[in-house]
Chain A
């Protein structure tokens, strides 16, 4: 479909220099192409929404600092790590989901010795800024296969950026502060959502069809369930319960 769009874009530029007859012919072609796109299922006319809630059992605790007997004083309190956030996504996603024209950019702060947000979900190709908003050095790095990187040590007020090109889960750490960690989930499509503090999520503009919907949380693993978006669109409610519960089997 991306190729078809590129063809249409190229034809459009060429059409500026042709006569009326040819322009009409091209217009007819474009209408036909538009019909193809509708048939392809990516039209937004009857798209639906998948929404619901991800419940975590038990609710995850904040990350604790590793005991360091070598500290001669009480270590500074670090900011809270919001481990309640989960990520819900379609797997696989509708074909139209892979078409991006914008160059996305996101941000993961380092504040009070914590990464904010603790969970970030992005599309592949996103440039993520890592500003240091603390008074100490930080050294953001990852050993994860989709994007191993090391930004080195940099001071307050500075920022460095990394582009995440490959889908996957990237675990982010600080080399200086062992209690700092975060997750970046990189998707090849745009049908994903990070839950709010209550666990609620919402996936909009989902074309009609049957989908595998995956809910992921760092502490409890993931669960996959089916969702059917009817031809007429509308809301589909799908709730998850991740963790130790006999009623909700988890893939963990």
Chain B
């Protein structure tokens, strides 16, 4: 196993600061840092994940081309309560000591004091589904991410196939996709919903006693969140969630937005006008005693043009996962997730119906140990099966140290 040296150094430092349990453990902050009489609060998260390299199967690569099972991530978040009902919220992240990227940067306004209605503008948290807002180590019970949020399909916003055969040639190769039309550089494909970038726009949220609703207009789409607008089209997304009893959340989401870059739509001779990503989702969470169970289903449809023929087709993907966590003792927990990602069929040049991308299934089991309230060790075994690409099946073992305050 080839180990990422950055992760080893960070893991060793964190553990040496905390494991003795005495005075040294107290040297790590346990809560957020605050200033200006509590008006500014600052939190941080440091995650070092140690696992084997995966430069043949690319099962866990993200749209920033990092392996989630072999990553060193630092995040810094801050909230400034500028006025009684106006907050500024920001988060920056760096993965594998790459460039620091703004993950969140928005202003939150509560217009009426007595109504739980908020408007947020800027780089805002995802509206669709539930997992996208809880990608933090303390909220994600496993090291890995659900396939829908991380696995790269063979679609690119800035390059398109000439024919269906070009598309099918890229089945199971989402980590490095090339197409003859558009950008000639190989680049990662798109996930169904990106968990590593947040979109830019305006979001409104209302919360009642048993019901909450969120709506947003943003520049990008679920699979390709943007800071600027790359196609003059906006995405509309909404979610309604019910909390009938404590511990139970049932949510439904929908979104509609243009996903292709304008540099590509200009190449299509008989453009239908818009190429959209539509998505529907349902999420469910129930927790009680020492259990949490969550499940989510996401269906997505992209309208994809073919440059040579000028035709276009609807490509569907369906992702489903169920995850659970059980705390065995105050310090030890077990978690597991079963995950599938499937694709609709399309006819190739010989008329044979083929899935437009390779189906993937994943099962992951984690065991976690809390060294202290905000310092956690995890060990994961993740098995992947894929119906195409260079590698059809692969099992990964990874370990993680996560610390936050």
B120 at the interface (CB under 8 A from A): yes
Bound complex: CA of A154 vs CA of B288, how far in Å?
Answer: 7
B interface, size bucket? 35 or more
In chain A between 51 and 77, which residues have their CB closer than 8 angstroms to a CB of chain B?
61-74, 76
Q: Which of B84-92, B163-171, B352-360, B379-387 contacts A (4 or more CB under 8 A)?
A: B84-92
Contact A67 B89 (CB under 8 A): yes
Which of B33-41, B218-226, B271-279 is found at the contact surface with chain A? Answer: B33-41
| B396 interface residue per 8 A CB criterion | no
- Shortest CB-to-CB span from A202 to chain B, Å, is 30
Bound-state CA distance A170–B245 (Å) is: 31
A74 touches B108 (CB 8 A): yes
Select the stretch in A34-42, A113-121, A143-151 that faces chain B. Answer: A143-151
Selected from A63, A150, A154, the residue in CB contact (under 8 A) with B330 is A150
* Interface 9-mer from A123-131, A134-142, A209-217, A239-247: A134-142
Complex CA–CA separation, A68 to B77 (angstroms): 7
Knowing A64-B41, A143-B330, A150-B329 touch, does A69 contact B103 (C-beta < 8 A)?
yes
Residues of B within 8 A of A71 (CB): 125, 133
Q: Does B312 contact A (CB under 8 A)?
A: no
Selected from B38, B104, B287, the residue in CB contact (under 8 A) with A64 is B38
Q: Is B184 an interface residue (CB 8 A)?
A: no
**In the complex, B136 has a CB within 8 A of chain A:** yes
Q: In the complex, A171→B214 CA distance in Å?
A: 37
Which of B363-382 touch A at CB < 8 Å? 370, 372-374
Chain A residues with Cβ below 8 Å from B290 are 150, 152-153
Is B134 touching A70 in the complex (CB atoms < 8 A)?
yes
Confirm or deny: B43 has a beta carbon within 8 angstroms of a beta carbon on chain A. yes
Cβ B370 vs Cβ A69 within 8 A: no
How many angstroms between the C-alpha atoms of A145 and B136 in the bound complex? 27
Is B118 close to A, CB under 8 A? yes
Asked whether A173 is an interface residue with its Cβ less than 8 Å from the other chain, the reply is yes
Chain B, 131-188, CB within 8 A of any chain A CB: 133-136, 138-139
The majority secondary structure among interface residues of chain A is loop
Bound-state CA distance A76–B374 (Å) is 22
Determine whether the beta carbon of A73 is less than 8 Å from that of B116. Answer: yes
Q: CA of A182 to CA of B16 in the docked complex: distance in angstroms? A: 26
Cβ-closest chain B residue relative to A156:
B246
Contact yes or no, B370 A67, CB < 8 A: no
Interface residues in A163-199 by Cβ distance below 8 A to B read 171, 173, 175, 178-179, 181
Is A155 close to B, CB under 8 A? yes
A69→B327 contact, CB < 8 A: no
- Bound-state CA distance A62–B41 (Å) is 12
B214 touches A135 (CB 8 A): no
Q: Are B247 and A155 in contact (CB under 8 A)?
A: yes
Nearest CB of chain B from residue A81's CB, rounded to whole Å: 11
B78 / chain A contacts, CB cutoff of 8 Å: 67
Q: Is the pair A64, B331 in contact by a Cβ cutoff of 8 Å?
A: no
Cβ 8 A contact of B133, one of A64, A66, A72, A171 = A72
Query: A64-B34, A67-B32, A73-B116 are contacts. A143–B373 as well, Cβ < 8 Å?
Result: yes
- Asked whether B314 is an interface residue with its Cβ less than 8 Å from the other chain, the reply is no
With A and B bound together, what is the CA distance between A150 and B139 in angstroms? Answer: 18
Contacts A67-B79, A69-B91, A70-B134 given; does A153 touch B329 at CB 8 Å = no
Minimum CB–CB distance for B46 against chain A, Å: 14
Contacts of B289 in A (CB 8 A): 152-154
- By a CB distance below 8 angstroms, the chain B residues around A64 are 31-32, 34, 38, 41
Binding site for B on A (CB under 8 A): 61-74, 76, 135-137, 141-143, 145, 148-150, 152-156, 171, 173, 175, 178-179, 181
Interface pairs A-B: 5 shortest CB-CB: A67-B79, A70-B133, A69-B104, A152-B289, A73-B205
Please list 9 pairs of residues, one from A and one from B, whose beta carbons are closer than 8 Å in the complex, sorted by A's number.
A64-B41, A67-B32, A72-B127, A137-B287, A148-B329, A150-B290, A152-B288, A153-B289, A178-B31
B residues near A (Cβ < 8 Å) are: 21, 31-32, 34, 37-38, 41-43, 77-79, 85, 87, 89-91, 103-104, 106, 108, 110, 116-118, 120, 124-125, 127, 133-136, 138-139, 203, 205-207, 209, 212, 214, 245-247, 287-291, 327, 329-331, 370, 372-374, 404-405
